[in-house]
Amino acid sequence: MEGMTEANDQAENTRSIRDLPPAHYTFKIENFSLFSNTKVDSVESGDFEVDSYKWRLCLHPNGNKKSNGDGHISLYLAFSKSNSPPLGWEVNVDFKLFVYNQIHDKYLTIQDANGRVRRFHGMKTEIGFDQLLPLTLFNDESKGYLIDDCCMFGAEIFVIKHTSKGECLSLVKQPVHSTFTWNIQNFSALDRESCKSQVFAAGGHKWALLVYPKGNSTFEGKSLSLFLTLEDSETLPSGRTIKGGTVSILTNQWFN
């Protein structure tokens, strides 16, 4: 049955109070008693768009009696019929619904417990809360939700999209040791600021040694500077680093 509604049990949602209004949509209803007293089964908002999909809020002023909502306000997030999804479509969503407290200027926030993600598809186009608020509480003006026959609801929606991206991290228990020797002839005669060795392969990557005969940066004129450089760093995934490697200097006498 297309358009089937699913709601979660009262014990499976969490409630909190916050100052920040709903990020995506607010639904204000004036003359609310005209809907509740005439036994209107449900009231829908207009379409609103979030993350390229169109949605609606669906409110049952006297509770959704088909889904254990009798005696309560029932509120659902609905996937709008104006969408044109492909055959076999589904949309995974983490969402929050709101009720505005006009006395305290705060929002009662209702969401699925434990970060549960809901799946909208052709057989499930409405998901929400059967027992959003008891009617006795909602209709009591001293509680702040219905004042001067006016109330306001809201929604915040986060659509979870699969990017199919990932990576694999592997540690080698016994890595292969590679050795490269760079023999610099006439080192004292070098008149360049720096000198780079030929590129060599080790551990599946390309490397080179870079030496500054008279030192580099703050150590210029004070020390010999030697660096190991990764020559194929552009092939690494963004943010990936490689750790390891030892550089040694062999001389026929100690440095003074």
120 and 196 belong to one structural domain: no
What are the phi and psi torsion angles at 66 (to 5°)? -80, -15
pLDDT at residue 11 tops 60: no
13 and 131 belong to one structural domain: yes
Contacts 24+ apart (CB under 8 A), 44-48: 44/78, 47/80, 47/82, 48/24, 48/155
CATH number at residue 60: 2.60.210.10
Q: What is the pLDDT of residues 133-170, one digit of tens each?
A: 999 999 999 999 999 999 999 999 999 987 767 777 77
Where is the domain boundary, 160, 193, 223? Answer: 160
Range of the domain at 37: 5-160
Q: What is the DSSP letter of 220?
A: T
Between 161-165, 196-200, 230-234, the lowest mean confidence (pLDDT) is in 161-165
32 and 140 belong to one structural domain: yes
Give which of 145, 167, 54 is closest to 98, Cα–Cα.
145
Alpha-carbon torsion (112, 114, 115, 120), positive or negative: negative
Residue 169 lies in a domain: no
- Position 254 scores a pLDDT of 43
90 and 14 belong to one structural domain: yes
Residue 248 lies in a domain: yes
22 and 65 belong to one structural domain: yes
Residue 239 lies in a domain: yes
Structural domains of the chain, count = 2
Residue 168 lies in a domain: no
Local confidence band at 172 (pLDDT 50, 70, 90 cut-offs): low
pLDDT, greater one: 251 or 76: 76
